[in-house]
Structures are given as structure tokens and as C-alpha cells.
Amino acid sequence: MIAYSKQSVSFLDAFRVGWQVKFRSLTQGIEISKFEESVARYVGAKYAVAVSSATAGLHLAHLALGNPNGSKVVTSPISFVASANSVIYANQIPLFVDIDPSSGNISLEKLREILKNTEIRTVVPVHYSGMPCDMKEINEICKEMKIHIIEDAAHALGATYSTGEKVGSCAYSDMTVFSFHPVKSITTGEGGMVTTNNPYLYNSLLKLRSHGIHKNSLEFKNTLLANTQKAPNAWYYEMDVLGFHYRITEIQAVLGVSQMKRIDKFMDRRRKIAKYYDAKLPTIGHIQNINCGQRDLSANHLYPIKIDFTKLSKSRNQIMSELRASGIITQVHYLPIPLHTYYKALGYEITNLPQTMGLYSQILSIPIHPKLTMRAQRKVIKNLKRILA
């Protein structure tokens, strides 16, 4: 079967993981710091905090900002549910604005409208499919109103803004959150990372990641317990905020360090696959590409195409089934978040998001990943042409 996406784990990756498991620490060791340093250095951020998932990273990012309960947060409706769920975890209220159908990213026009008419504390732009939002413009919009920005870059490790900085540099945001799920740019099995340039946010993230505990003697409040004869007790630690067990393991971190050594190769391969699709798919009727001409900016995490199913005699489900019967797995990214039953029960509606519904009704993600061969890609194109004919 040709998967829509999959991990690329080398023999050397596996050897390093095996060595770690057999001979070194399994948790809370130096590999986590190495992994954080490698990601921070790659994206150009001052700090990085590894966590158990991107969802955990988004949750902690909201908590680190310290906004009061009930604060309103704007994000995209075309995303995995974690983008909005994490807002609710932090006792805040997610609001959705419509998307730009040419990219799947948040509409700047609609963002301006909601920020003018509603008191918003945070904006969470989602870099859909790995294509960066216009963060410079979003930053300009939010800066005037002192609104925080958390980038949901689960799809976008390796992407570059049009202004030249890497996604994750936090050049235009307070924090950026990455995912290391197996289908992402690099993998640690499960895992995530938050980058920032703000030392206060960095220290908050570190504490929140590990139960709210810290061992910084300069910050100890209970000095009677912390010291013996004015010397810090070696065993002592304090919990001064309610944190979580969102740590990543040494096993995952050593895999992440190894994967980061190949990220440029992964990006190059994804870029070549995307450009080949860009060249070949327009010859097939009923298919419309998005983000063509911007492959050098995108991490090309997904390759979504738009198909006008209303003009075909086949539904999306039929086309996906026929492709699967030919050995090709496709996916839909995503069911809009307000359509999930949990959000419908909370009173969210989709009627004010026409572009979101328009994109959802046509979108289909076809295979793209570093291990996809040219032969397999040609098979995808050939079968799309046959089925859509």
C-alpha cells in the first residue's frame, strides 16, 4: 500500500535508539537538552522546550501566557482538533475565523474583522499542510492591540517565511509549537516542541512541563526547608504552580537528535515530490492544486488537492475507495472543527465559515513523504487520471 504519509527511520536512527535503551538513561537526561538545542539552532530561536506532544505544547503555551479564564482565542477551523482543544484545556474560549481557500490558512481579512469587533487575547495561526501563514502581517495586526500569538506549526518544521526566517524562529510570535508524530517532518514516535525567544515564557514552560516543579535555589520561597545552615539542600525542590507530566523521554529525544541530522534531506525530498505533482496534476481534469509556486517556502507536510466532486459522477468516498483498491491511501485534512459533535454541542456553527466548508467539500490529501518513490508517485498520478476520467 502507498501510504498518504509515513516515517523515515534509518538503521542509524534505530541503532542510536537501541544504544540509548541498552546503555544509557531512559528519562530526564542530556539527550532531551541536545534535542532542544538542535531544534532551536535549526529554526533560529533562543529557547526550545521538548514535550510529550504538540497538543501538550499548545496547552502549556496558553498557560505560560497567563491569560485569565474565559479569555477568547482565535484559531483556524481547518486543523486537527488539538488547535482548539488546547484552548479549552486552558479554560479559555476558542473562536474560529474563515480561511483563505487558496492556501487553507487563516484569512487575514476575517482576522482583522474579528479583532476589531471582539476582545481577543491570543491568535493561533495554523500553518496548514506546512505552508506558512503571512506571519509578518499577522504580527502587525496583533501588535497594535497587544494580542499574543502562538503559532501552531505542527505541519511546518522546515518551512520558511516569505521574509526569510524559519518557522519556529518566533520572529513574529510569542511561541511556536511543533509536532513529531510519525507523519511529520521528523519523528520521535510521539512528541512536540515549543520554541520562544522570551526567557520568562521559557522558564514557565520548563516548570509547567514537569508538574510545576523547579530546583532553582534562587527562586525557592520556603527557605527554612530549602536550606541547612544557609546551604541549599541537595535533595530539595519546590512546586509553586500546578503543572503537568508532559515530559518527553530520552529514547524519543535521541531519535529526534538523529532525525534532525537528516531534516534538510527530508525537506528536499518532499519539495521535489510536491513540484512533480504541481507539474503533472494540472493535466488531469477536475483537479485544482493549492500553494503551487510556493514549495520552497512550505514544509510540504501534506499535498492536498481540490476536486469538484459535484461535477463528477463519483463521490469523494468512492474515489478514495477506488484509490485504496489500487493500493493508494488518501485522507481528508480536515473535518472542520466546528462540525465535530463536541463543538456542535457547545453551540459552534459552520454557517459563518463558507470558505472553510467550500474547501472541506473538495479537499483530498494524496501521498507525500520522503520514502515515496518516483514509481509510486507515478502510480498515484496514473490512477487519479483513470478514476477521474
pLDDT in tens, 47-93: 999 999 999 999 999 999 999 999 999 999 999 999 999 999 999 99
Residues 306 and 370 in one domain: yes
Sheet holding 192-196, edge to edge: 47-51, 192-196, 175-179, 148-152, 122-124, 72-75, 93-96
- Whether residue 53 contacts residue 192, with contact meaning beta carbons closer than 8 Å, is answered with yes
Cis before residue 334, ω within 30 degrees of 0? yes
Residues 15 and 150 in one domain: yes
Q: Please say which residue of 232, 260, 288 terminates a domain.
A: 260
CATH value at residue 381: 3.90.1150.10
Q: Which stretches within 218-295 are classed as H helix?
A: 223-226, 250-260, 263-280
- Whether residue 78 contacts residue 128, with contact meaning beta carbons closer than 8 Å, is answered with yes
Residues 239 and 194 in one domain: yes
Residues 286 and 239 in one domain: no
CATH value at residue 105: 3.40.640.10
Q: Tell whether 99 is covered by a domain.
A: yes
Reported as a pLDDT band with limits 50, 70 and 90, residue 229 is confident
Residues 58 and 169 in one domain: yes
Q: How far apart are alpha carbons 193 and 122 in whole angstroms?
A: 19
First and final C-alpha spacing in the chain: 23
Q: Tell whether 5 is covered by a domain.
A: no
Q: Tell whether 3 is covered by a domain.
A: no
pLDDT tens-digit readout, 99-148: 999 999 999 999 999 999 999 999 999 999 999 999 999 999 999 899 99
Residues 118 and 248 in one domain: yes
pLDDT at 168 over 90: yes
| Angle, helix 250-260 to helix 30-43, in steps of 10 degrees | 30
Q: Please say which residue of 233, 260, 287 terminates a domain.
A: 260
Q: How far apart are alpha carbons 24 and 314 in whole angstroms?
A: 55
- Name the residue range of residue 307's domain: 263-388
pTM: 0.96
**Mean pLDDT, range 218-243, rounded to an integer:** 90
Q: Tell whether 81 is covered by a domain.
A: yes
Residues 52 and 143 in one domain: yes
Residues 354 and 313 in one domain: yes
Q: Please say which residue of 238, 260, 282 terminates a domain.
A: 260
- Whether residue 296 contacts residue 75, with contact meaning beta carbons closer than 8 Å, is answered with no
- Whether residue 136 contacts residue 125, with contact meaning beta carbons closer than 8 Å, is answered with no
For the chain, the domain total comes to 2
Residues 35 and 136 in one domain: yes
Residues 159 and 281 in one domain: no
- Dihedral sign (CA 192, 194, 195, 199): negative
Residues 299 and 235 in one domain: no
Q: Tell whether 380 is covered by a domain.
A: yes
